[in-house]
């Protein structure tokens, strides 16, 4: 993609690195970035050559400091709901449901919407300098992109309350201790470490990996119905009876099902 894009995708072999490309604003999210994140998810979902995704922020100053306050502070209440919160929530859900495993390389502060974006990943790697916060209450608002939902599933209510009700920042060591991140990389090597994890994932059977991700998501209460229906549909489609059903339809005859 062109350098001016706010979300960049670079592919090497079976790995796609998706970068929030607004380093001068600490990768703060704008409506245009949300739209490009949605387009990136659709592109990755349809790419049969990609087996794992790394998600990171441009520059060395931040992963993502959340929503750009200048973008949403001028919105009317109904626009805040329809254009900002609902839109962003849907896109983050799309990323969480991506069939491909996602590894977040958290190369600096992840605040508010940035922390919520990191939470959509399946594995999170952080640089030692990374810090984490849900600061919304300090500016008289609330987490809006699953901070009170997906993060609770990930950490439990107590840890999320400790973050959200105090607006405090925690460092990478504390984030690792409470299970917010899975690994602390060597300094300035969060992306390298995340790519190594993604490459390991890419060596495994891709369909098994993707189904396993869906099963674990379902166990966490995310997309359970869709997972059951998808797997039931795939299983039934592989049977002898399914082939017989299609053949009888084409041949306009009564199907002879055998329960196989």
pLDDT score at 224: 67
pLDDT category at 80 given cuts 50, 70, 90 is low
Average pLDDT over residues 104-131: 97
Angle among Cα 45, 100, 156 to the nearest 5 degrees reads: 125
Could you tell me which residue, 28 or 4, shows the higher pLDDT? 28
Give the pLDDT confidence of 220-240 residue by residue, as tens digits. Answer: 877 667 667 677 777 777 888
Does pLDDT of 3 surpass 60?
no
What tokens does 242 get? 């399914």
Q: Look at residue 82 in the predicted model and tell me its pLDDT.
A: 66
Of the residues 32, 38, 60, 116, only one is catalytic, namely 116
Q: Is the model more confident about 22 or about 251?
A: 22
Is residue 70 predicted with pLDDT exceeding 60? Answer: yes
Is the predicted pLDDT of residue 258 greater than 90, yes or no? no
What pLDDT is stored for residue 78 in this prediction? 67
pLDDT score, position 73 = 66
Domains detected in the chain: 7-202 (3.90.226.10), 206-251 (no CATH)
Residues 29 and 68: beta-carbon distance below 8 Å: yes
Rounded distance, CA 187 to CA 234, Å? 44
Residue 87's CB is within 10 A of a number of other CB atoms, namely 16
| Average pLDDT across the chain, whole number | 90
Query: In the numeric block, which tokens belong to residue 11?
Result: 């592919």
Query: Is 45 known to be catalytic?
Result: no
| Range 1-8 average pLDDT | 70
Which H or E run contains 161?
A: helix 157-164
Q: Is 44 helix (H, G, I), strand (E, B) or coil?
A: helix
**Confidence (pLDDT) at 244:** 81
Whole-prediction pTM: 0.89
Q: Model confidence over 157-197: pLDDT tens digits?
A: 999 999 999 999 999 999 999 999 999 999 999 999 999 99
Mean pLDDT of 19-38: 95
**Residue 29 buriedness (CB in 10 A; 0-12 / 13-18 / 19+):** buried
The sign of the CA dihedral 38, 217, 221, 113 is: negative
Residue identified by tokens 């490309």 is 21
- Torsion angle defined by CA atoms of residues 89, 102, 148 and 153, in that order, rounded to the nearest 10 degrees: 130
pLDDT at 1: 39
Is residue 2 predicted with pLDDT exceeding 60? no
136 is known as an active-site residue: yes
Which one is catalytic: 45, 60, 136, 244? 136
On the question of pLDDT at 51 being above 90, the answer is: yes
pLDDT higher than 90, residue 141: no
pLDDT for res 234? 75
> Is the dihedral angle over the CA atoms 145, 213, 217, 197 positive or is it negative?
negative
Percent of the chain with pLDDT over 70: 92
């Amino acid at each position: 993609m062109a350098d001016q894009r706010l979300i960049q995708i670079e592919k090497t072999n079976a790995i796609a690195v998706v970068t929030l490309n607004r380093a001068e604003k600490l990768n703060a999210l704008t409506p245009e970035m949300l739209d490009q994140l949605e387009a990136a998810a659709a592109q990755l979902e349809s790419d049969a050559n990609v087996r794992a995704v790394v998600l990171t922020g441009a520059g060395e100053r931040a992963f993502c400091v959340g929503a750009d306050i200048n973008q949403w502070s001028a919105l009317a209440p109904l626009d805040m709901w329809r254009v900002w919160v609902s839109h962003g929530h849907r896109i983050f859900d799309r990323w969480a449901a991506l069939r491909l495993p996602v590894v977040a390389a958290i190369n600096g502060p992840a605040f508010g919407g940035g922390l919520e974006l990191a939470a959509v990943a399946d594995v999170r790697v952080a640089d030692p300098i990374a810090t984490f916060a849900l600061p919304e209450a300090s500016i008289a608002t609330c987490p809006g992109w699953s901070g009170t939902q997906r993060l609770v599933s990930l950490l439990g209510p107590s840890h999320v309350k400790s973050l959200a009700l105090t607006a405090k920042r925690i460092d990478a060591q504390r984030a690792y201790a409470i299970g917010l991140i899975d690994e602390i990389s060597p300094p300035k090597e969060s992306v390298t470490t995340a790519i190594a994890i993604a490459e390991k994932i890419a060596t495994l059977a891709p369909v098994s990996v993707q189904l396993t991700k869906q099963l674990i998501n379902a166990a966490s209460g995310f997309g359970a119905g869709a997972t059951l229906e998808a797997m039931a549909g795939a299983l039934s489609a592989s049977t002898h009876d399914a082939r017989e059903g299609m053949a009888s339809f084409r041949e306009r005859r009564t199907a002879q099902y055998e329960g196989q």
